[in-house]
């Protein structure tokens, strides 16, 4: 019998959601605010973790950590030899700039135990930034930015769910991230991830990165999820949120079900042919630009 599989904790496991941003820049690279000013701004906005992913430079977070209750994640945005800028979360060093292909960067990051994320693949001002042919060379990719806030004011078209669904429909298990990529204050608090964290445990930087790497998070631009996971021994997906509507998406980005309100109980038989559907994911829509994206639920025999 086919069933859904989930990267989230058991539906009834006590947990909380840690809000964070892991892509953005200070005056150490091309941002407008000093690192400490950014830390203070994100903590005041209710974030629990933050990374300052400077371009080709590893910012030492140790002097900043005593000033905040947030977990500060080590990160570098690495420039490839083709001028893509790509995320290295959990960085212990800066990789050589403009020398490695995207695939080589991914392999270096993964070999060191870090998390690689393909940043802003839909740069519309650069049609060759992340072609389908390039993305097809990235087998083993685990993370992609599907919403990057800064693109809203630079090139439009912030969403990259089309690229995400294409890779998911190839059978790749890629998780979708939301970030600010902040350079100016106008970029703050546009998109974020909420990592699922066991209740009663103190968050750690390494643990948050591990949760992101395992797909225990959702991406958001304003909608909050309270519960998400499997029921009926994997034959149903439960989503509870403060959204106004939920859209269920399956293979090739097809929207196969729309539900008014923020909660739904999706049964496997609603998907159609499970073998053809391959996966489902939920887009929880709120007012204006507010939405949240769950990670995929895979359908396995």
pLDDT tens digits for 26-61? Answer: 999 999 999 999 999 999 999 999 999 999 999 999
Instruction: Give the residue from 168, 175, 145, 177 showing the smallest Cα distance to 279.
Output: 168
The residues facing 75 across adjacent strands are: 89
Mean pLDDT of the chain: 96
Q: What is the pLDDT of residue 157?
A: 63
Per residue in 161-212, pLDDT (tens digit) is: 999 999 999 999 999 999 999 999 999 999 999 999 999 999 999 999 999 9
Where do the structural domains in the chain lie, given as residue ranges?
3-300
Query: What's the rounded Cα separation, in Å, for the pair 7 and 173?
Result: 11
Segment among 112-126, 129-143, 215-229 with least mean pLDDT: 112-126
Tens digit of each residue's pLDDT (9 = 90 or more) over 53-88:
999 999 999 999 999 999 999 999 999 999 999 999
For residue 73, the model assigns a pLDDT of: 98
Q: Check residue 100 and give its pLDDT.
A: 98
Distance CA 119, CA 179 (A): 9
| Closest-CA residue to 99 (of 72, 76, 81, 117) | 81
String of b and e for 141-164 (b: at least 16 CB within 10 Å)? bbbbbbbbbbbbebbeebbbbebb
88-102 pLDDT per residue, tens: 999 999 999 999 999
Residue 115 pLDDT greater than 70, yes or no: yes
CATH number, domain 3-300, options 3.10.20.30, 3.40.50.180, 3.40.50.1390, 3.20.20.140: 3.20.20.140
Provide the pLDDT for residue 155. Answer: 65
pLDDT band at 156 (very low <50, low <70, confident <90, very high): low
3-state SS, the chain, equals: CCEEECCCCCCCCCEEEEEEECCECCCCCCCCCCHHHHHHHHHHCCCCEEECCEECCCCCCCCCHHHCCCEEECEEEEECCCCCEEEEECCCCCCCCCCCCHHHHHHHHHHCCCEEEECCCCCCCCCCCCCHHHHCCCCCCCEEEEEECCHHHHCCCCECHHHHHHHHHCCCCCEEEEECCECCHHHCCCCEEEEEEECCCCCCHHHHHHHHHHCCEEEECCCCEEEEEEEHHHCEEEEEECCCEEEEEEHHHEEEEEEECCEEEEEHHHHCCHHHHCEEEEEEECCCCCEEECCCEEEEC
């Amino acid at each position: 019998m086919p069933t859904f599989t989930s990267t989230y904790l058991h539906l009834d496991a006590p947990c909380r959601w840690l809000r964070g941003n892991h892509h953005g820049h200070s005056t150490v690279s091309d941002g407008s605010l000093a690192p400490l000013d950014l830390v203070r701004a994100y903590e005041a906005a209710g974030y629990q973790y933050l990374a300052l992913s400077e371009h080709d430079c590893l910012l030492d977070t140790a002097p900043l950590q005593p000033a905040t209750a947030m977990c500060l994640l080590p990160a570098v945005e690495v420039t490839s030899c083709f001028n893509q800028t790509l995320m290295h979360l959990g960085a212990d060093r800066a990789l050589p700039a403009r020398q490695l292909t995207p695939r080589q960067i991914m392999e270096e990051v993964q070999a060191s135990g870090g998390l690689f994320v393909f940043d802003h693949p839909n740069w519309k001002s650069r049609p060759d930034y992340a072609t389908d042919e390039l993305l097809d060379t990235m087998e083993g990719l685990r993370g992609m930015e599907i919403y990057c806030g800064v693109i809203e004011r630079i090139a439009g078209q912030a969403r990259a769910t089309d690229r995400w669904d294409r890779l998911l429909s190839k059978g790749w298990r890629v998780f979708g991230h939301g970030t600010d990529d902040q350079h100016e204050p106008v970029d703050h608090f546009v998109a974020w991830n909420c990592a699922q964290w066991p209740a009663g445990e103190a968050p750690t930087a390494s643990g948050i990165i591990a949760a992101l790497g395992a797909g225990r998070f959702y991406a958001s631009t304003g909608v909050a999820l309270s519960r998400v996971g499997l029921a009926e021994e994997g034959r149903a997906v439960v989503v509870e949120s403060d959204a106004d509507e939920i859209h269920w998406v399956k293979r090739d980005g097809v929207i196969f079900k729309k539900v008014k309100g923020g909660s739904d109980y999706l049964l496997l038989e609603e998907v159609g042919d499970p073998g053809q559907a391959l996966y489902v994911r939920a887009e929880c829509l709120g007012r204006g630009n507010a939405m949240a994206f769950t990670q995929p639920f895979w359908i396995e025999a």
